[in-house]
Amino acid sequence: MKNIVILISGGGSNMAAIVRAAQREDWASRYGARICAVISNRADAKGLDIARDAGIATEVLDHKDFASRDAFDEALAALIERHAPAHQSTLVVLAGFMRILTPPFVQRYAGRLVNIHPSLLPAFTGLHTHQRALDAGCKFAGATVHQVTAELDHGQILAQAVVPILSGDSADTLAARVLTQEHQIYPRAVAQLLQTL
């Protein structure tokens, strides 16, 4: 069985979209895959409730309990592997996980660690992507699913969705439209990646 571990820090809407797709498309039968755990670095992350309601194991690992980023990432890897011991068939999916991961962690899951970013990479890596796109006078924005590498938001692009920027858009209205596209492309990209594991 291929294991999917999803990492979140907040509301978990992309995680919920992936869970719905896994159920609707029967990933267990189709790909031999299951979402075995949702892990958050914040105990108050609303996405934990969504995961519990779906019958998925949840864990909280508070980064503030660790003296260094390396120590946190080591503990995170140990927690992932407690839920998904078949290391080479584990896919780690970042869904609003607001932590920059260390190079050793990224290397450990190389090729099996994915993220979604709310811009058309390589444009606007990092934070405040929607406001930056508006400030730059862009005509289009969007979202990108990509492999995670040690360089922030620079891994291989797996999927993108383009969203037109409308006159009168604010960062919030643009973010809401981009998010609806994220919910479509992220589950599809994860399903495609499962076929390669």
Structure tokens at 97: 């996980």
Q: Is 117 a catalytic residue?
A: yes
d(CA 69, CA 101): 8
Which member of 83, 117, 130, 183 is catalytic?
Answer: 117
DSSP label at 149? -
List, as one string, the DSSP characters of 112-178: SEEEEESS-TTSS-SS-HHHHHHHTT-SEEEEEEEE--SSTT-SPEEEEEEEEPPTT--HHHHHHHH
What are the residue numbers of the active site? 117
